[in-house]
Amino acid sequence: METQELKIFSGSAHPELAELICQQLETRLGEALVGTFKNGETRIRIEEHVRGRDVFVVQPTSTPSDHHIMELLLMIDALKRASAGRITAVVPYYAYAKQEKKTTGREPISAKLVANIITEAGADRVLAVDLHAPAIQGFFDIPVDNLTAMPLLADHFYYRQFQNVVIVSPDTGGVARANDFRTRVGASLAIISKHRPVPDTSEVIDMVGDVDGKVAIIVDDMISTGGTLREAADLLYSRGAREIHVYATHAILADEAPEMIQESRLESVTVTDTIPIPHELIDGKIKRLSVAPLLASAIRRIHEDSSVSELFKQARFRQAELL
């Protein structure tokens, strides 16, 4: 499909990231009214011409997830009714991703429902970063580009110049992600086995791999309550790890996670800006990299109808400077 001028709009979830993407693309952020009525309902109005345009809506569905999802849906609907040529929902962080299957009876599959309503609202395509479960791509009946932040994080790993390293997956579900990182940096792999007796609570069972005397790098897709990292750090130190660092994509940092990280044995935690992080937290152990170059490159390729997968074969997102 041949489309016209590229336009980027942002909801209220992460306008800073949307502005950084626009800077990379040397364009301006589209004008839109995003707010609430006095009764608390979400108010959306697109304030410029979009007929026939190739439109991208940047909106991670982070906390408060339900509100940010509703903003995204209403923006897509407004753009559809304004005759936009193509609408891509840029969702750097996809909420409800951990609810991609039923674990007990009488539960919803929330990740599937979110996919349904984004499609029904009128999105033609979805652009996400490190979906928690790859199966979520199959929940959509429209194209989904699931980017990975692993090249960006691996490039920063090189900048740190660690020696004698082992890459650690904090659970069996993240082995493919940790192995991808391990392949990029050339290190050995260790795997921690855990289970969740109740939601948001994890218990470490055992570990496979040698970490004695090594710098352990925990690689994960998201940091929620921080409990997994704390238990993993304790286990790694008990097995002789010299230092422990973390690389993760999504910094949810729910509840008391920032305090837990600061009080833990972790030397550093490097995350991306798929989710906005209060600036006062970006010091000490928590460090942040931007996915704006990655998303901007993908948006450019989608707009030009070229391959997004080739992006990871040809491009590097080396970024020595932290935000």
**What's this model's pTM, rounded to 2 decimal places?**
0.93
Do 150-289 and 6-148+292-314 have the same topology in CATH? Answer: yes
Kindly compute the dihedral angle of the four CA atoms of residues 155, 160, 166, 169, in this order, to the nearest 10 degrees. Answer: -60
Q: Is the pLDDT of residue 319 over 60?
A: no
Residue 192, CA atoms < 13 Å, CB-side half-sphere: 29
Q: What is the mean pLDDT of residues 302-312?
A: 90
> Cis peptide before 64, with omega less than 30 degrees from 0?
yes
pLDDT tens for residues 13-29?
999 999 999 999 999 99
Strand ranges (DSSP E) for 104-170?
125-129, 144-147, 165-169
Which sequence spans correspond to the domains of the chain? 6-148+292-314, 150-289
CATH class of 150-289: alpha beta
Q: What is the mean pLDDT of residues 70-81?
A: 98
Strand ranges (DSSP E) for 99-200?
125-129, 144-147, 165-169, 188-198
3-class DSSP state of 145: strand
The answer to whether residue 214 is catalytic is no
CATH among 2.60.40.1930, 3.40.50.2020, 3.50.40.10, 3.10.20.30 for 6-148+292-314: 3.40.50.2020
pLDDT tens for residues 91-112?
999 999 999 999 889 999 999 9
* Residue matched to tokens 């904090």: 170
State CA 4 to chain mean position distance: 28
pLDDT tens for residues 112-161?
999 999 999 999 999 999 999 989 999 999 999 999 999 999 999 988 88
Q: Which of 7, 194, 214, 287 is catalytic?
A: 194
pLDDT tens for residues 33-52?
999 999 999 999 999 999 99
